[in-house]
Amino acid sequence: MNTTPAENPDSGRPEAKPPAMPQSPHAPGPESEFSEADQIPVSGCFGSVDAILRHPKRILFQLRRGNSRETILVLIGVAIACALGYGLIIGLFSGGEQVFYAPVKIAAGLLLSALICLPSLYIFAALGGSKAGIEDVLGLLAGLLALTTILLIGLAPVAWIFSESTESVAMMGALHLAFWFVAVGFGLRFLHTGFKHTRLRANEGLSVWAIIFVAVALQMTTALRPILGTADTMLPKEKKFFLAHWADNLSSPSGARQQSAGREDYRQEPIVEEEGR
Amino acid sequence: MKTLVDSSIPDLRQLPALLRGEVELLGAWHREESGRRILFQIFVIFGGAGLFGAAIGAWRAPLQSLYLAFKLPLILILTTFFNGLVNGMLAPLLGLNIGFRQSSQLVLSSFAIAATILAGFSPIMLFLVWNAPVSDVSGVSFHVVLLTGIAAIAFAGVAANARLLDLLRVLAKDAKTARNVLFAWLAGNLFLGAQISWNLRPFIGSPEMEVEFLRDDAFSGNFYEAVLRVVGRLISGY
């Protein structure tokens, strides 16, 4: 910041000029935060997946110093691909149209949740003293999504085994949620680590944001239901909060097996239409 | 190569500095009176608080959304305007030697910070409203939307006032003076702000009542009389 006062030629009195605001495309940070190993460039999808699991600082360095836009696009691509893959496992439980709908809903829901929470992430980071610009924040959020979905893919075989061993929608719902919480926990850890390199002074805001993000994502699963189980329509006709939806599912029969023309279908309780809608 | 942004010209890119509380920079801005900066802050307040108001109002009806997009920033601006004289007088009386325009600029700064925070929350609020049924017989939706809105506004207010305190500390050079000025301004703004909010109701709007810009009895009675009546009913109920 330039704080040198300039003299007023008319009065001879020095005039204090307001300090100018520095502008840089990325948050500043000393190079010493990253070792030489951290500065090895990361390229391609597999390189990014390997780096985010084993050398996350390389991703952080690339987001800060390298071609961050390309890295962000790769991370988002990885997140979408992995979300579609995990969604397929979810869809296989119910079969039929859910094999196509579930992957799309999982991927779209994750991206929409991130988009909804992106402005508040920037706000909370700034309130905590972070020098991260909007591109830095987007990069870290993309990293969170990528790491979360990569871990879900890792858990996908486990989820598939359970889905072949039970007919209970509530049981499978709880299992997928538990896996999601584990995965997003690691994703949030990546986010926190990333923000530490942007001069973040206080973590409390990010912790609050984490709660908001989880709540939004959980509500998104209800807004896009059914993801497990089937219904007459692709999207619900009735608006519900996720706690109410879970309570309804837990209190109703877990799944009614139907036989129709030799096929066995698993159906949820039919969605009750609101009067007047 | 880094480029410098001239801090004397208001710019949306200066908002992150406001949020981070870069007090040396912000203190330098506020040592000067600037009509341009005041207009910029009003613009930010209308933009940010307007977005949040629109999101909340969307629960009741699109028209309510429009009304609240206008009313929420209006509460902040009117509070600053009507309290401008007394805030400008209290500051030097309590040891902070600034003018009327500067004191209004400082209060508007804190409202601009709050409005920016609310703008960040508006997509979340809109998502909540989109998921909340309107014709909810039990009233749960209404209360969820109301409480979430209040929580967001309260958070934005606390964060904004924390930044204002940082600013006042730079200008006052004395933590006690800065605290006294902040509390005096807060007391006045809360006192008047509650009344202006009362006059400008409804905000979210009950599903049983029509969508209106102002209630017919907007200017009969006041917020504190209403609170006393409720307290009286509660006490007499026991």
Asked if the structure places residue A199 within a domain, the reply is yes
The angle formed by the CA atoms of residues A253, A255 and A260, to the nearest 5 degrees, is: 130
Mean pLDDT along residues B219-236: 81
Beta-carbon separation of B133 and A16 below 8 A: no
Residue B29 is predicted with a pLDDT of 66
Mean pLDDT along residues A248-263: 51
Using CA coordinates, name the residue in chain B closest to A115. B123
Distance (Å, whole) CA B111 – CA B35: 16
Residue B181 is predicted with a pLDDT of 92
Distance (Å, whole) CA A110 – CA A113: 5
Mean pLDDT along residues A255-262: 36
Residue type at B125? M
Asked if the structure places residue A114 within a domain, the reply is yes
Q: What are the chain A neighbours of B14 within 8 Å (beta carbons)? A: 21
The angle formed by the CA atoms of residues A108, B116 and A135, to the nearest 5 degrees, is: 50
Total tally of structural domains belonging to chain B: 1
Mean pLDDT along residues B195-216: 82
Asked if the structure places residue B233 within a domain, the reply is yes
Residue A257 is predicted with a pLDDT of 33
Asked if the structure places residue A189 within a domain, the reply is yes
Taking the CA of residue B15 and the nearest CA in chain A, the distance in Å comes to 10
Beta-carbon separation of A18 and B127 below 8 A: no
Q: Which domain does B159 fall in, by range?
A: 12-237
Mean pLDDT along residues B66-89: 91
Q: Identify from A2, A15, A21 which residue to disrupt to test chain B contact, counting B C-beta atoms within 10 A and taking the largest count.
A: A21
**Does the structure show a pLDDT above 60 at A26?**
no
Asked if the structure places residue B5 within a domain, the reply is no
Taking the CA of residue A187 and the nearest CA in chain B, the distance in Å comes to 20
Residue B33 is predicted with a pLDDT of 63
Would you call A6 helix, strand, or coil by DSSP?
strand
**Does the structure show a pLDDT above 70 at B4?**
no
Residues of A with CB under 8 A from a CB of B: 1-2, 16, 18-24, 115-120, 122-124, 126-127, 129-131, 133, 212, 216, 219-220, 222-223, 238-241, 274, 276
Asked if the structure places residue A2 within a domain, the reply is no
**Does the structure show a pLDDT above 90 at B60?**
no
Q: Which of A173-182, A236-245, B114-123 has the lowest mean pLDDT?
A: A236-245
Residue B31 is predicted with a pLDDT of 67
Q: Which domain does A175 fall in, by range?
A: 38-226
Beta-carbon separation of A123 and B6 below 8 A: no
Asked if the structure places residue B212 within a domain, the reply is yes
Residue A27 is predicted with a pLDDT of 52
Q: How confident is the model at residue A277 (pLDDT cuts 50, 70, 90)?
A: very low
Nearest Cβ partner for B119 among A16, A119, A240: A119
| 3-state secondary structure labels for all residues of A63-118 | HHHCCHHHHHHHHHHHHHHHHHHHHHHHHHHHCCCHHHHHHHHHHHHHHHHHHHHH
Mean pLDDT along residues A220-249: 85
Using CA coordinates, name the residue in chain B closest to A28. B2
The number of C-beta contacts closer than 8 angstroms across A and B is 95
Mean pLDDT along residues A150-179: 91
Asked if the structure places residue A191 within a domain, the reply is yes
Compute, in degrees rounded to 10, the torsion defined by CA atoms A92, A94, A98, A102.
Answer: -70
**Does the structure show a pLDDT above 80 at B136?**
no
* Mean of all residue pLDDT scores within chain B: 84
* Mean of all residue pLDDT scores within chain A: 80
Beta-carbon separation of B7 and A21 below 8 A: yes
Within an 8 Å CB–CB cutoff, is residue B121 touching chain A? yes
Q: What share of chain A is helix, strand, coil (3-state, %, to 5)?
A: 60, 5, 30
Distance (Å, whole) CA B107 – CA B104: 5
Q: Ranked by mean pLDDT, which of A28-32, A89-93, A229-233 comes out on top?
A: A89-93
Nearest Cβ partner for A120 among B3, B29, B124: B124
Q: Which of A157-171, B78-92, B183-197, B218-232 has the lowest mean pLDDT?
A: B218-232
Asked if the structure places residue A130 within a domain, the reply is yes
Residue B138 is predicted with a pLDDT of 62
Which single residue is written with the structure tokens 């506020």? B30
Total tally of structural domains belonging to chain A: 1
Q: How confident is the model at residue B143 (pLDDT cuts 50, 70, 90)?
A: confident
**Does the structure show a pLDDT above 50 at A269?**
no
Asked if the structure places residue B7 within a domain, the reply is no
**Does the structure show a pLDDT above 60 at A276?**
no
Nearest Cβ partner for B5 among A21, A120, A241: A21
Of A275 and A122, more confident: A122
Asked if the structure places residue B89 within a domain, the reply is yes
